[in-house]
Amino acid sequence: MDGDRVEIDGGIMEGGGQILRVSTALSCLLGLPLRVRRIRAGRSQPGLRPQHLSGLEIIRDLCEGKLEGGEIGSTEITFTPGKIKGGIHIADTKTAGSVCLLMQVAMPCVLFAASPSELHLKGGTNAEMAPQIDYTVMVFKPIVEKFNFTFNCDIKKRGYYPQGGGEVVVQMSPVKELSPINLTERGTVTKIYGRAFVAGALPIKLAKDMAAAAVRCIRKEIRDLYINIQPVREPDDQAFGTGSGIIVVAETSTGCLLAGSSLGKRGKNSDKVGIEAAEILLRNLKHGGTVDDSLQDQLIIFMALAKGVSRVKSGPITLHTQTAIHFAEQLTKAKFTVTKSEEEDPSKDTYIIECQGMGMINPNL
């Protein structure tokens, strides 16, 4: 069997957990046995962290596969997938490991399951180094659903760094195939809205300060639009631990959604948190792409699986995106091309990511 294993070098390019997420999801979908070596080789703590292990375990459980080397700190795993089944699956990082990243690895797989799935994902909902759950619901969800599927994401409890304790429940039904997407017209910004939140021991004043600072920062660039950022205190029964943060979303006339977000932490001024989110949003609006820098790489696996040609106009291609493309092409028959967009406006740094998808068909439907 080992002769047929696909060999993945987990230490190249972005060199992080994303290589593991893309390659194990595709391994599961395509029935390809996999060996990943040099996992997170360049990181300060190399090898599997609780976050990555939970992701591997949920994929293993989804398809009744075999996983070897699945322990914390392991730098090499082998994975032998089985048949993807629906039903209820639970993944718990037992830390502030991101539920959004667990969703990233599991979602492509359950789309091609035999029956509907319910994923109970436990860990951090608003954690560093990962999309916040608010981003997943407000930006990722409406855009990824353009591939012609829907899912439901119920935030049962929010969890923050360091102890996690959050839980989201994702429900989705399988599809026969995915449609390609065409996101090439940015349009003009029509609305800017968001939420600034505090939870646990923090006063609502922090949320108000974050929101006000973000509004002031955006006002300098965009004067004629009402900016609606709601300050909220998460109800005590819907949040575990203490945390704060903000997300600001811009919606355009063509239905594009771009965002900036930031998390509070001890010793970080709340104005700074708001300004950080606003600056990320403004940077994403400046490049002229139809997707922001966080969404770019999350769309790659779906473009690779879809039937037909997908086109997405983006800002500069992130290392995460280059990495996702590299492994999607290594494992599937999808072909990607990235070209500089021929813009009317030479100051814009935009690219077209085009993909001839492999046209994955759900064998169970």
Question: Which of 52, 287, 320, 326 is the catalytic position?
Answer: 320
104 in a labelled binding site: yes
What six digits make up the tokens of 21? 């997420």
- Taking the C-alpha atoms of residue 256 and residue 184, their distance in angstroms, rounded to an integer, is 10
**H or E element, residue 134:** helix 133-135
What six digits make up the tokens of 141? 């969800």
**What size, in residues, is the chain?**
365
Residue 169: partners with Cβ closer than 8 Å, 6 or more residues away:
118, 119, 120, 121, 153, 154, 156
Pairing mode of beta strands 189-199, 243-252: antiparallel
Q: Catalytic residue at 320? A: yes
- Taking the C-alpha atoms of residue 9 and residue 36, their distance in angstroms, rounded to an integer, is 6
Pick the closest to residue 361 from 174, 181, 182 (CA basis).
174
Concatenated DSSP letters of 58-100? HHHHHTT-EEES-STT-S-EEEE------EEEEEE-SSS-BHH
**Residue 359 CB burial class (10 angstroms; 0-12, 13-18, ≥19):** middle
Please state, as a whole number, how many other Cβ atoms lie within 10 Å of the Cβ of residue 236: 9
Do 318 and 293 form a contact (C-beta atoms < 8 A)? yes
- Taking the C-alpha atoms of residue 331 and residue 197, their distance in angstroms, rounded to an integer, is 40
Do 134 and 158 form a contact (C-beta atoms < 8 A)? no
Q: How far apart are the first and last CA of the chain?
A: 28
Determine if residue 73 is left, alpha or beta; phi over 0 gives left, psi from -120 to 50 gives alpha, anything else beta.
Answer: left
- Taking the C-alpha atoms of residue 312 and residue 146, their distance in angstroms, rounded to an integer, is 12
Annotated binding site: 104
What residues act catalytically? 320
Annotated binding site for ATP: 104
